[in-house]
Structure 1
Amino acid sequence: MNKIILLTLFSLGICIAASAQQEGNKPTGSATGQAIPPSAKAAPKPYKDVITAKAKTTVGLFTVHKIDDKIYFEIADSILNRDILIVSRLAKAGADTRNTSAMTGYAGDVLNQSVIRFEKGPNNKLFIRELSYSERSKDSTQAMFKAVSNSNIQPIALAFDVKAYKKDTVTRQQASVIDMTDIINGDNDLFFFGSSKGKFGISAYQADKSYLLDVSTYAINTEIKTVKTYSKNMGNAMQSVNGVAAPVTQGSPKPVTVELNTSIVLLPKIPMQARYADDRVGYFTFDYTDFDANPQGIKRQSVIERWRLEPRDADLAKYKKGELVEPKKPIVIYIDPETPAKWVPYLIQGINDWNVAFESAGFKNAIVGKMAPTPQEDPTWSLDDARHSALVYKPSSVANASGPHITDPRSGEVIETHINWYHNIMKLVHDWYFVQAAAVDPKARKMQFDDELMGSLIRFVSSHEVGHTLGLLHNYGSSSTTPVEKLRDKAWVEANGHTPSIMDYARFNYVAQPEDHISEKGMFPRIGVYDKWAIEWGYKLIPDSKNADEEIPVLNQWIIAKAADKRYWFGNESNAEDPRMQSEDIGDNAMKASDYGIKNLKRITAHLKEWTRKDNEGYDELQNMHEQIYSQLGRYVGHVVKNIGGRYENIKTVEQPGPVYTLVPAAIQRDAMDFLSRQVFTTPLWLVDNKILAYTGSSPVEIIGSLQEGALTRLINSTRINRMLAAEAIEPATYKVSDLFNDLNTIIWSELVTRQPISIYRRNLQRSYLDKLCAIVKPAVAGVKGSDVNSIAKAALIKLRLKIKAALPSVRDTMTRDHLNDMLGKIEVALSVKA
């Protein structure tokens, strides 16, 4: 007999919920968690004396009775000891609730979730235990099972007096009646905000300004809708008091009222079979400590988060033969009724596009996007019902979208999703497409796209966010598997797409040139071969495997079979060393791709005033899009710099040949330095065309300085330098730190050889570079003190001092001479510092 023992991470806010109640607003009865003297305990009454004829009763997961201002839950014994998910959401919120620096505070946002069980206690008590699945032992035949069981116990979060019992005359099953009034009307952490209060800066609960709206119950869930009022913390500012900084309160707390929806959902009696994660395929995971997996220790296990897709019983034989079958229960994602009607078809297309990927896993019609039913079509349907997944339209200035989901922690099964679609996402995708595609696509050359183009952009983002709800992580490495020249091959790129994964942040094909005549089909991301493969790996059933452990060798062989084809490669978003794993890049060579991208940026810049024109308006759009252009150039710089001191990571199991880590070849690192010399450190004057600056008022010195300073900061930092030193120990022929400084000296100080006057842009660049070198040789600099880099930086300063002294006698330009003398003085000071 196998069981699972769960170790709990205790939450004081849950375990001692009574202490969170405000004075004058404490719930009565044992739901407070406080001991009640024996004399105060009331024995259960006859059912008819508690649930009187005045009761308004609805039947569902719980039978809910409303009697005047009282709410009673009737909980059948069949529900006891079943795992139940509680999800609390904002149903309505005011603008003052929102955190302007984050995407929180909108209708549909999840505030809190927990897994609980109801169980009977002594003396006519009913308990709620809050469960944790962070640590497990599942084999009851082993000694470890009992050890874990004896050492851990799930906390009793709430306790209730049973007010009455009822026995069903047909099933003979008993049910317990408890009074939920104080819990619903109070501020219980389990059912409402929980730890999310801090995120919104709210504190004291105001019971006199709070009330119950409704309790509804359905077959597998019960919904509680309340209005809650809290105090909003206004925060502190700092002021100087006698020369000492001290906080000063920014006014009195203000009330914040929200409408909350709490869904109580019965989880499946038999959890879905889990599937262990593999770092070679990108899935969100639920992690836990397994006390059984390692006989001589413990092991951290990760299971992927995915929806439960199973063939109908009658189709199982067909499925095993490889025939496409429909799942018992497809994934249905409803569109928020408040969504502007003209965008609904594109959002639905973005959802339904994933059906082609599910066919790889053996399912047809596996996912469906559809409009939410009207009240006339289904009066019981609610956007807040945890059984329903939805794309929620949010009237927000946030320029983004996100695809979160609620997961059964026992198995990784995705229970539902509420995709967040913020209104201002259209501004974001407009600016992306303009700056990356306007050189190629005439439809992108304006500040308001036509509905067809905007609809296509919405469809792409919808597909990406749905991918997250299906469990997929970003695959930042995918676009690096496409050869750069293929991105200009019209037939190839229109047939295959510019990246194998829509889950990459590859955006649009900025490499394509106007003369390539590539259509939108070759410009937009789409669901690609990696996405189909990832869905196959995560969702294809292995009928002969009885548990997750038996699946491991099969899943491993699936990955190994695809390993020779780079298009199936997964590159995560957290690797700081591998230049193939980057956001916003495309192609297998950042230098070539960025050169093409800059050609297009120059074309757009030449027409920017014309293409951003809006009648009867000023030049705000011109300034915004100009900022987008130099931000895009900054991204190209980041893509290139990551090659310097980089190393590749190819995760493997022992069955796969070859090393996991290899250094970026020295030749590629030198190509990266050449790019920086040509496109960044040689002043990109095209970026500061006065035909634009005359209308925006932007400073050309600040624009160029920010770009070049950003490149230097990325290049000269302790992390990169220490990686390069480590690489030299592995491969002496690699691109070294000394090579880096020698090249920078040559590139940045070229006027010392040509004897040309040094422009203001170059003076600022040289000053910034010298400051970074001087900072390295100071003993207090963290991360490099005591390493070879100190000696290398000193050597670079000594060489530079000699070159400046040699050049000064022939300098005729006053500003150049004054600048060089200043730099020489800085060098002398830096070299005179003693450790």
Structure 2
Amino acid sequence: MKVLNVYLLLWVTLLFVCPVAAQQDVKPMTYEQFKEQKDLQADKGFYTVYRLNDQYYLEIPTEGLGKEVLVTTQVAHGMAAFVSEASGVIRFSEGRNNTVQVVRNRLTDVSADSTDVCMMMALKKSGLVPIDYTFPIVARGEDGKSVIIELTGELNNPGSGLFNVSSYHWLSHPDPSRSGVDGWRMLDKGVVFSVTRGQSDYQSNPQTQEGRDIAARYILEMVIQQLPGDRMKQRISHPAYGFETIGVTEYDTKRYVAQKREYIRKWNLTASAKEIKKQKRGIAIEPERQICVYIDPVTPAPFAESIKNGVKQWEKAFEAAGWKNVFRFSSDAKDASLSYRTILFRWGSAYNGIYSSVIDNPVTGEILCARVNVMDVAADELLGMYFLQCGLLDGRIRKDLHSLAVRQDVLTAQVASAFAEVLKMKPNKAGYTVFTPANIRSEKWLNRYGITASITSGVTFNYLAQPGDGVSVKNLFPRVSVYDYDAIKYAYGNSDALPSMRGAFYAPEDKGDPYAQDGFLSNDILNASIQGVEAVKEIYLRLSEWINQLPDDQNTWKNVSDFTVKAQALFQTYLTQMVKLVGGRSVRPIIKGVNETRVTYMPREQQEEALNYLESAIFGEFPEWVRVKELDQSGVFDTDQMMVGLAEALLRHFMNKEVMESLVAGERRLGEKAFTARELFAYLDRVVFENFDPNKAVSTYKRGVQACFVSEFARFMAQNNISFGLSNGANGVYHAYFVELARKVKDLSEKHQDPSTRSNYQVMLLRMNREYFDKQ
């Protein structure tokens, strides 16, 4: 037994000392051996593709090793807008034991002084580049000038590797009997494979508990393409312009410091030195390589024109920056792949908006290709809003709610806005609040700049223009404008100039900033919102008349009812814009500074004017103008409850720690010039609670507003108790007012002279106890 144990021990020891690498080192075939295989097919190109029955091989030339390679995977046919998250930049290199290593591009530290070779080598050796996976070398190419690897598993396996699609459920577990490689075709220094994937998934109805198998089938396109060797000239990020960026740590060998630099993600536009000299003299030049804009041939002709017009707006911005004919439009099948310098517009699979996928190089920031899925459904969603906001000026929408011409105009604006994502531009939420109301009502101004300084943050219509202003239909829609021109010029031009128009620089969305919100228009939100409300009132009473003039299939009672409710929603939108002025503040970068910002609080007078208008419009009494027979006769909508709900939603703005902190900070900085929290609470006491007058009977509408406000406030206080993180300043102010409010509510629940009002205060006291005091 002891002898047997000794032999076992010796055998295990030998296993551990045997060189494992030697066991894995499988010698590749020679080129002659590989070519002699029966039924082998070859398609020569930069990457030569071989097929042997159901096996597929890729020949990588030696000159392609160590170079950047674009790999993309997309659904080319099928109801999906899917682009694989694995799409990006890789490098092939020959590794140990006859393998080809695959490394994905990752950001690394770099030397700011590119002439310091020692520093660059030290940085390179300071960390190991991770190897993502390897391929065995099946054969060596002719004269050893290439290596051949097998791609069969990559093309058929959805779960990993170059073409990973496992994140998309309908592609994650294909049925082999319904899946396979359809073929391939050559690209410029690349190849694209076409693969069919089919599978079935069981889906059950949670209501009926019944289910069935759902079959799905997609055709994927998988691209492998070597990228040009020229490195893009990078552009450092500037606070005036909102671009997505890459962050790089640069080591300066002259000053011995390390600093983080942000560089813009952008397309690479290049030209010869001779052409660049012409550009610097103010002459627009063509890039050496155009960007192909492919428009799916199944796109209906009117909307294909909308896509072109949306992109051409940006083409004009590039021309102003010194580059003409940047884009080449195509519907040719050879341009339909997600390959280098291609933007695909696919028609379909875009029911809830326009979807875009952008693939860039994480090391250089170069945008390599993009895909946009679009449908006219996106435009249809905005037609109702356009009918209400611009119906007074555009007779097309009053004649037909689905006017093709209007849908084209809307989609053009939407494509222009969505194209900003393809350029890796961030939504500039301040772009809509640069121009004055007078500008936006002036045809001369609009012809030059449009209704907004930037198209990047979505589509809002010109609801300020009035009949008699002489504003043309084209100027009711936003378009690429002054900020967009400046941003493109900075990113792609030869200028470091600041924005050409005061205030026309980047600001992200900020819930505390009334001038950095979606849908707001002009640099005078108060007056713009008031004008919007007045326009709604005028249209509201004419809705039945307008609907009656529509074609028979649109002249329905349902449309009258639906648009009446939409008009009330628009009324709420304008009042919401207005209430955000109270406690609002703007945070803007100091453009000439470094990481500095300036905080500006809304003027006291503007906040007081907003509150006064809100009192007359909704807080003080029921807005009688909203009572129309169409809603009453529908039997579905309770107009009184809808207006109480609106008042409650607006009053909820005052239950916000950011609002209170802004009021407190504004008073600390501005003193008597500030609108204070004390004045806000005095306003609520007067407008909502009638100054707690024990003798004044309160209307049914106002009683509803009071009860809702108290419930929301008690709930807010319970959720934002001091232990849950409200700042001490804001918490103290809220706490003091809430305790005093509770005392007054209790007092009037016992002493108010009007029985109905007293009963309402009793209900309010019960709610305050239930929502707050009983929880403490």
- Displacement of 1:111 in angstroms is 4.3
Structure-to-structure mapping, 1:591-610, within 5 angstroms: 591-610=526-545
**2:44 maps to 1:59:** yes
**Cα-to-partner distance string for 1:529-578 (whole Å, 9 max, x where unaligned):** 22211111111036xxxxxxxxxxxx3xx12xx47x325322222x2332
Amino acid at match of 1:279: P
- In structure 2, the residue matched to 1:19 is none
Query: Among 716, 720, 728, which residue is 2:667 paired with?
Result: 728
- In structure 2, the residue matched to 1:158 is 133
- In structure 2, the residue matched to 1:570 is 506
**2-structure distance, mates of 1:118, 1:258:** 29
Cα contact 2:242–2:426 (8 A) shared by 1: yes
- Displacement of 1:225 in angstroms is 1.9
**2:644 maps to 1:690:** no
- Displacement of 1:828 in angstroms is 7.5
Query: Among 594, 607, 622, which residue is 1:669 paired with?
Result: 607
Cα contact 1:337–1:371 (8 A) shared by 2: no
Cα contact 1:129–1:158 (8 A) shared by 2: yes
**2-structure distance, mates of 1:703, 1:167:** 79
Identity %: 22
- In structure 2, the residue matched to 1:271 is 231
Query: Among 737, 744, 752, which residue is 1:793 paired with?
Result: 737
- In structure 2, the residue matched to 1:30 is none
Amino acid at match of 2:89: V
Structure 1 residues 487 and 330: alpha-carbon distance in aligned structure 2, compared to 1, 3 A threshold: same
Structure 1 residues 657 and 139: alpha-carbon distance in aligned structure 2, compared to 1, 3 A threshold: closer
- In structure 2, the residue matched to 1:526 is 479
- Displacement of 1:793 in angstroms is 1.9
**2:545 maps to 1:586:** no
**2-structure distance, mates of 1:779, 1:407:** 43
What SS is found at the alignment partner of 2:292?
A: strand
- Displacement of 1:340 in angstroms is 0.5
- In structure 2, the residue matched to 1:18 is none
Cα contact 2:695–2:752 (8 A) shared by 1: no
Structure 1 residues 761 and 505: alpha-carbon distance in aligned structure 2, compared to 1, 3 A threshold: farther
- In structure 2, the residue matched to 1:102 is none
**2-structure distance, mates of 1:487, 1:685:** 31
- Displacement of 1:235 in angstroms is 9.1
Amino acid at match of 1:604: I
- Displacement of 1:594 in angstroms is 0.7
Query: Among 448, 454, 478, which residue is 1:501 paired with?
Result: 454
Structure 1 residues 576 and 297: alpha-carbon distance in aligned structure 2, compared to 1, 3 A threshold: farther
- Displacement of 1:765 in angstroms is 1.4
Query: Among 67, 76, 85, which residue is 1:82 paired with?
Result: 67
What SS is found at the alignment partner of 1:362?
A: coil
**1-structure distance, mates of 2:26, 2:447:** 75
**2:94 maps to 1:126:** no
**Cα-to-partner distance string for 1:114-160 (whole Å, 9 max, x where unaligned):** 32111112232222122312655566848875665445323222222
- Displacement of 1:832 in angstroms is 6.6
**2-structure distance, mates of 1:194, 1:303:** 30
**1-structure distance, mates of 2:196, 2:719:** 59
What SS is found at the alignment partner of 1:163?
A: strand
Amino acid at match of 2:575: V
Cα contact 2:70–2:90 (8 A) shared by 1: yes
Amino acid at match of 2:72: V
**Cα-to-partner distance string for 1:218-247 (whole Å, 9 max, x where unaligned):** 222221222234575859979xxxxxxxxx
Query: Among 664, 685, 688, which residue is 1:745 paired with?
Result: 685
Cα contact 1:801–1:827 (8 A) shared by 2: no
Runs of 5+ consecutive residues of structure 1 not aligned to the other structure: 1-34, 95-104, 239-247, 543-554
What SS is found at the alignment partner of 2:242?
A: coil
Structure-to-structure mapping, 1:642-657, within 5 angstroms: 642-653=580-591
**2-structure distance, mates of 1:110, 1:183:** 14
What SS is found at the alignment partner of 2:132?
A: strand
- In structure 1, the residue matched to 2:88 is 114
**2-structure distance, mates of 1:688, 1:608:** 13
Cα contact 2:417–2:459 (8 A) shared by 1: no
**2-structure distance, mates of 1:662, 1:151:** 46
**2:424 maps to 1:471:** yes
Amino acid at match of 1:768: C
Cα contact 1:116–1:131 (8 A) shared by 2: yes
- In structure 2, the residue matched to 1:245 is none
**1-structure distance, mates of 2:771, 2:91:** 67
Structure-to-structure mapping, 1:409-448, within 5 angstroms: 409-448=362-401
Cα contact 2:165–2:172 (8 A) shared by 1: no
**2-structure distance, mates of 1:110, 1:706:** 44
Structure 1 residues 258 and 44: alpha-carbon distance in aligned structure 2, compared to 1, 3 A threshold: same
Amino acid at match of 1:44: P
- In structure 1, the residue matched to 2:345 is 391
- In structure 2, the residue matched to 1:212 is 181
Structure 1 residues 319 and 831: alpha-carbon distance in aligned structure 2, compared to 1, 3 A threshold: closer
**2:322 maps to 1:362:** yes
Structure 1 residues 415 and 740: alpha-carbon distance in aligned structure 2, compared to 1, 3 A threshold: same
Cα contact 1:265–1:386 (8 A) shared by 2: yes
Cα contact 1:619–1:696 (8 A) shared by 2: no
What SS is found at the alignment partner of 1:112?
A: coil
- Displacement of 1:505 in angstroms is 3.6
Amino acid at match of 2:655: I
Query: Among 169, 183, 190, which residue is 1:221 paired with?
Result: 190
- Displacement of 1:672 in angstroms is 2.5
Further displaced range: 719-728 or 346-355: 719-728
- Displacement of 1:471 in angstroms is 3.0
**Cα-to-partner distance string for 1:424-448 (whole Å, 9 max, x where unaligned):** 1121231231122113322222553
**2-structure distance, mates of 1:312, 1:779:** 63
**What TM-score results when the alignment is normalised by the length of structure 1?**
0.81
**2-structure distance, mates of 1:339, 1:790:** 56
Cα contact 2:338–2:344 (8 A) shared by 1: no
Further displaced range: 442-451 or 292-301: 292-301
- Displacement of 1:616 in angstroms is 4.8
Amino acid at match of 2:762: N
- Displacement of 1:751 in angstroms is 8.5
**2:245 maps to 1:285:** yes
Amino acid at match of 2:764: M
- In structure 1, the residue matched to 2:619 is 681
**2-structure distance, mates of 1:358, 1:718:** 43
Cα contact 2:181–2:195 (8 A) shared by 1: yes
Query: Among 135, 144, 153, which residue is 1:182 paired with?
Result: 153
Cα contact 1:46–1:165 (8 A) shared by 2: yes
Cα contact 1:283–1:473 (8 A) shared by 2: yes
Structure 1 residues 345 and 254: alpha-carbon distance in aligned structure 2, compared to 1, 3 A threshold: closer
**2-structure distance, mates of 1:156, 1:726:** 53
Query: Among 409, 413, 429, which residue is 1:460 paired with?
Result: 413
- In structure 1, the residue matched to 2:286 is 326
Cα contact 1:753–1:807 (8 A) shared by 2: no
Query: Among 559, 564, 570, which residue is 1:626 paired with?
Result: 564
**2-structure distance, mates of 1:807, 1:665:** 40
- Displacement of 1:785 in angstroms is 8.0
- Output the aligned Cα RMSD: 3.6
**Cα-to-partner distance string for 1:134-187 (whole Å, 9 max, x where unaligned):** 65556684887566544532322222222221236xxxx701111211222223
What SS is found at the alignment partner of 1:89?
A: strand
- In structure 1, the residue matched to 2:490 is 537
**1-structure distance, mates of 2:91, 2:84:** 21
**What TM-score results when the alignment is normalised by the length of structure 2?**
0.87
- In structure 2, the residue matched to 1:819 is 760
**2:29 maps to 1:45:** yes
Further displaced range: 703-712 or 472-481: 703-712
Amino acid at match of 1:47: Y
Further displaced range: 627-636 or 661-670: 627-636
- Displacement of 1:526 in angstroms is 2.2
**2-structure distance, mates of 1:463, 1:251:** 42
**2-structure distance, mates of 1:520, 1:602:** 22
